[in-house]
């Protein structure tokens, strides 16, 4: 028998085993991307969660497609937002202390018909809940909703400051 051939086969088996063990060893390490967590990032994540949750819950009055749509809808006379205090209560519970927020509703349908107007025009952007002050680091999230065949963008702007 040829002993050198047997030694070469044994060497190949040992090297293959070592390679498999080294791959397994490298695989066990968890590599996390280098993302710096800041107050703005956390507020964006919380704000996105708030809007997504409200959009995902059906309206118990069965008038609107979701709770978010109900909260940012005006009354039958288009005068005021009757459910804005419920929205305010929900957001106050969800955001941490030190966060101030503002909710705006942008009428995208009207804006598409009148592109010559500024997006800040009172017929296009309305403030549902105004922030008492706008100071601190700003984070902004939004969702698109449809109410009575009109497309709106609901914008939640949060400011991280100490209360």
Q: How far is CA 154 from CA 35, 36, 133, 136, 144, in A?
A: 28, 27, 20, 21, 6
Q: How many domains does the chain have?
A: 2
Neighbours of 77 (CB within 10 A): 6
- Whole domain around residue 7: which residue ranges? 1-31
User: What percent of the chain stands above pLDDT 70?
Assistant: 90
Q: What is the tens place of the pLDDT at every residue in 11-56?
A: 989 999 888 888 877 777 665 555 565 655 788 889 999 999 999 9
What pLDDT is stored for residue 155 in this prediction?
A: 95
Q: Does 89 score more than 80 pLDDT?
A: yes
Instruction: Say if residues 145 and 55 touch (Cβ distance below 8 Å).
Output: yes
Residues 12 and 62 in one domain: no
What average pLDDT score do residues 149-157 get? 93
Question: Burial, 105: exposed, middle or buried (Cβ in 10 Å; 0-12, 13-18, 19+)?
Answer: buried
Average pLDDT value for the chain: 85
The Cα 6–Cα 113 span in angstroms is: 82
Residues 96 and 151 in one domain: yes
Beta bridge partners of 159: 100, 138
Residues 21 and 90 in one domain: no
User: Is the pTM here over 0.85, yes or no?
Assistant: no
Residues 87 and 53 in one domain: yes
Residues 7 and 68 in one domain: no
Residues 19 and 70 in one domain: no
Residues 23 and 89 in one domain: no
The Cα 132–Cα 135 span in angstroms is: 9
Q: In Å, how far from its chain's centre is CA 45?
A: 5
Q: Based on C-alpha coordinates, what's the Rg of the chain?
A: 28
User: What percent of the chain stands above pLDDT 90?
Assistant: 37
Residues 108 and 133 in one domain: yes
Q: How confident is the model at residue 105 (pLDDT cuts 50, 70, 90)?
A: very high
Residues 44 and 115 in one domain: yes
Instruction: Say if residues 119 and 128 touch (Cβ distance below 8 Å).
Output: no
Residues 16 and 62 in one domain: no
Residues 111 and 140 in one domain: yes
What pLDDT is stored for residue 50 in this prediction?
A: 92
Q: How confident is the model at residue 61 (pLDDT cuts 50, 70, 90)?
A: confident
Residues 50 and 27 in one domain: no
């Amino acid at each position: 028998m040829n002993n050198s051939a047997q030694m070469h086969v044994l060497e190949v088996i040992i090297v293959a085993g070592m390679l498999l063990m080294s791959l397994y060893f490298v695989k066990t390490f968890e590599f996390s991307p280098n993302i710096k967590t800041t107050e703005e990032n956390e507020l964006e994540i919380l704000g996105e969660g708030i809007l997504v949750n409200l959009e995902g819950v059906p309206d118990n009055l069965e008038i609107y497609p979701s709770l978010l749509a109900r909260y940012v809808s005006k009354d039958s006379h288009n005068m005021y937002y009757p459910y804005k205090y419920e929205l305010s209560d929900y957001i106050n519970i969800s955001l941490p202390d030190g966060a101030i927020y503002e909710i705006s509703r942008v009428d995208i349908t009207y804006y598409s018909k009148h592109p010559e107007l500024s997006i800040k025009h009172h017929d296009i952007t309305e403030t549902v809940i105004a922030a008492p002050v706008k100071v601190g680091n700003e984070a902004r999230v939004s969702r698109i909703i449809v109410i009575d065949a009109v497309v709106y963008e609901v914008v939640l702007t949060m400011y991280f400051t100490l209360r």
